[in-house]
Structure 1
Amino acid sequence: MKDYKNILIIKMSSLGDVIHALPTLYAVRKNWPNAHITWAIHEQFESLLPGKPWVDDVIIIDKKQLKKPAYLWQLRKDLHSRHFDMTLDLQCIAKSAIVSLLSGAPEKYGYWELREGSNLVNKALVGEHKYDHVIERYLDTVRALGGDVEGVEFPMPAYVEAEKSVKHKLQSHGVEDEYVVVVPGARWIVKEWPLLNFGELCIRLCESGKKVVIAGAPDDAEKGAFIENYVKNKNLINLVGSTSMPELIELIRHCEIFISADTGPLHIANALKRPLIALFGTTSPKRTGPYGGSHVHLIISPTSKATPEQPLVDDPDCMAQIPVDAVWSVYEQVIGKEL
Structure 2
Amino acid sequence: MLTFGNIRIKKNLDNFFKILIIKFGAPGDVLRTTPILESLRKKYRHCYIAWLTWRASLELLENNPMIDKLLSCNNSAKEALTEKYDMLLSFDKDPTAISLATKAKAKKKFGFKIDRFGALNVFNDNSLYALQLGIDNRLKFSGNSKTYQEIIYEMSELKRDYGPYIFNLDERCVLYGRKVLYKFGMKPYHTVIGLNTGAGKIFLTKKWPITYFVQLTKMLAKLKNVKIVLLGGGDERAINKIISSKTKQVAVNLGTHYSKKEFAGIVNNCDIIVTADTLCMHIAIALKKKIIALFGPTAEMEVDLYGSGKKISSRIPCSPCYRLRCHDTKCMKSIKPDSVFKEIKQFISQYDK
TM-score normalized by the length of structure 1: 0.84
Secondary structure class of the residue paired with 1:219: helix
1:265 aligned partner, one-letter code:
C
Aligned equivalent of 2:65, options 53, 57, 67: 53
Distance 1:285 1:83, change over 3 A: same
TM-superposed deviation, 1:4: 7.1
What's the CA shift for 1:26? 2.3
Q: Distance in 1 between matches of 2:216 and 2:33?
A: 32
5 Å-filtered alignment, 1:169-180, equals 169-177=180-188, 178-180=191-193
Deviation at 1:311, TM superposition (A): 5.0
* Residue aligned with 2:194, SS: strand
Paired residue secondary structure (2:262):
helix
Displacement of 1:158 in angstroms is 1.4
SS at match of 1:85: strand
2:212 is matched with which residue? 197
Using the TM superposition, give the Cα deviation of residue 126 of structure 1 relative to its aligned residue in structure 2, in angstroms. Answer: 3.7
Deviation, structure 1 residue 255: 1.5
Q: Is the 8 A contact 2:36 2:162 kept in 1?
A: no
- The equivalent position to 1:186 in structure 2, one of 192, 199, 203, is 199
Percent identity of paired positions between Structure 1 and Structure 2: 23
* 2:92 counterpart residue number: 91
Displacement, 1:107? 2.5
Q: Distance in 1 between matches of 2:114 and 2:344?
A: 36
Shift of 1:90: 1.0
Contact 1:50 1:155 in 2 (8 A): no
The 1:57–1:311 alpha-carbon spacing in structure 2 relative to 1, beyond 3 Å, is same
- The 1:162/1:189 distance shift into structure 2, 3 A limit, reads same
2:257 to 217, 220, 242: 242
1:108 and 2:123 matched: no
Deviation of 1:172 after TM superposition, in Å, equals 1.5
How many angstroms does 1:118 deviate by? 3.6
Unaligned runs of 5+ in 2: 1-14, 134-143
- Flag the structure with higher strand content: 2
Where do residues 145-294 of structure 1 align in structure 2 (5 Å cutoff)?
147-177=158-188, 178-187=191-200, 188-208=203-223, 209-233=225-249, 235-287=250-302, 289=303, 291-294=304-307
Q: Which residue of 2 aligns with 1:332?
A: 345
Inter-partner Cα distance in structure 2 for 1:254 and 1:124: 43
Match in the other structure for 1:137: 151
Q: Separation in 1 of the partners of 2:16 and 2:113?
A: 21
Q: Residues 115-126 of structure 1 correspond to what in structure 2 (within 5 A)?
A: 117-119=119-121, 122-126=123-127
- Quote the Cα distance in structure 2 between the aligned partners of 1:43 and 1:151: 26
Is contact 1:262–1:280 with CA below 8 Å preserved after alignment?
Answer: yes
For 1:249-284, what per-residue CA distance to the aligned partner results, in whole angstroms no more than 9, with x for missing partners? 122223210101222211111222211111112221
- State the SS of the aligned residue for 2:52: strand
Structure 2 SS opposite 1:179: strand
> Which deviates the most, 88-97 or 292-301?
292-301
Contact 2:50–2:70 (CA under 8 A) maintained in structure 1: yes
Question: Separation in 2 of the partners of 1:241 and 1:193?
Answer: 18
Counterparts of 2:229 and 2:45 in 1: how far apart (Å)?
Answer: 40
Question: What are the superposed Cα offsets for residues 189-219 of structure 1, whole Å, 9 maximum, x if unpaired?
Answer: 2111101101111222234242212111111
Residue aligning to 1:33: 45
Letter in 1 for 2:182: Q
What is the rounded CA distance, in whole Å, between the counterparts of 1:239 and 1:28 in structure 2?
A: 39
Q: 1:327 to 1:22 in 2, by over 3 A?
A: same
1:260–1:80 Cα change, 3 Å = closer
CA deviation after TM superposition for structure 1 residue 292, in Å: 4.4
Q: Which residue identity does 2:102 align to in structure 1? A: L
Q: Is the Cα contact below 8 Å between 1:9 and 1:40 reproduced in 2?
A: yes
The 10-residue stretch of structure 1 (329-338 or 37-46) with the greater mean CA deviation from structure 2: 329-338
Q: 1:242 to 1:102 in 2, by over 3 A?
A: same
Q: Distance in 2 between matches of 1:312 and 1:33?
A: 42
Residue pairs, 1:289-304, within 5 angstroms: 289=303, 291-303=304-316
With normalisation by structure 2, the TM-score equals: 0.81
Partner of 1:68: none
| 1:69-123 C-alpha deviation (Å, 9 max, x unpaired) | xx7xx833x1244322221011133121122134222332216999x83427x44
RMSD over aligned Cα, in angstroms?
2.7
| Number of aligned residue pairs | 316
Output the amino acid matched with 2:32. H
1:311-330 aligned within 5 A: 312=323, 314=326, 316-330=329-343
Secondary structure, aligned partner of 2:41: helix
Stretch moving more, 244-253 or 94-103: 94-103
Q: Structure 1, unaligned stretches of length 5 or more?
A: 63-70
Task: Tell me the CA shift for residue 27 of structure 1.
Answer: 1.5
- Looking at structure 2, the residues matched to 301 and 223 of structure 1 have their Cα atoms a distance apart, in angstroms, of 23
